[in-house]
Amino acid sequence: MSLPAAARLAIAGVALALAGCAPSRPLPADPSARLDPIAFFTGRTHGDAILQKLVGRAVKVRVDSSGRRDRQGGLILDQAIRKGGKPARHRRWLFRLDGRGRYQGSLTDAVGPVDFVSAGPRATIRYRMKNGMEVDQHLALQRDPRLVLNRLTVSKFGLRLATLDERIRKLD
């Protein structure tokens, strides 16, 4: 017996919603390392990533960053982001240490403050984008101290819409 088209569509929607809520595995990290995001991102870094959206093909993303310290010991990080063959999009991060492992920050893509916590070899960054989507980002320092793995997820209403997996290499 075949299900009506509306029932099949509803089942597919529920399956997609559940898939979007599935937890992801933590990124591997060097347990003996300590990630200092200001030190790591001072100078030039380059990231190669794959962006996988809920619907559609995976897209290659390249991120070239240049970071410099500000007068208060924080970081100004300018980034050029290239998705597929599109022209570069530019954004700027500003953040400074605000206590034990916590940073206060802002980002041109974000509405309101950026929550940034670093502990051992890992860091977590959370913010809301101007279009209402939530970003949850995890950084993990590797045994090679010039390499950080980044997993970024974008969600709305609890549904995961996209995931980006990136390898960020310190060039300076």
pLDDT at 64 over 80: yes
Q: Which two tokens stand for residue 139?
A: 């950084």
Summarize pLDDT for 149-172 with one digit per residue, the tens. 999 999 999 999 999 999 999 999
Question: Which pLDDT score is estimated for 24?
Answer: 66
Cβ atoms within 10 A of the Cβ of 99, count? 8
Looking at residue 118, its pLDDT comes to 94
Report yes or no: 170 and 37 within 8 Å, Cβ to Cβ: no
Tokens of 95: 């953040």
Q: Are 97 and 38 in contact (CB under 8 A)?
A: yes
- What 3 state SS string does 136-172 have? EEEEEECCCCCEEEEEEEEEECCEEEEEEEEEEEECC
How does pLDDT run across 71-94, given as a tens digit for each residue?
Answer: 999 999 999 999 999 999 999 999
Task: Give the pLDDT confidence score for residue 2 in this predicted structure.
Answer: 58
CA distance 170 to 139: 14
Indicate whether 7 pLDDT > 60: no
pTM of the model: 0.85
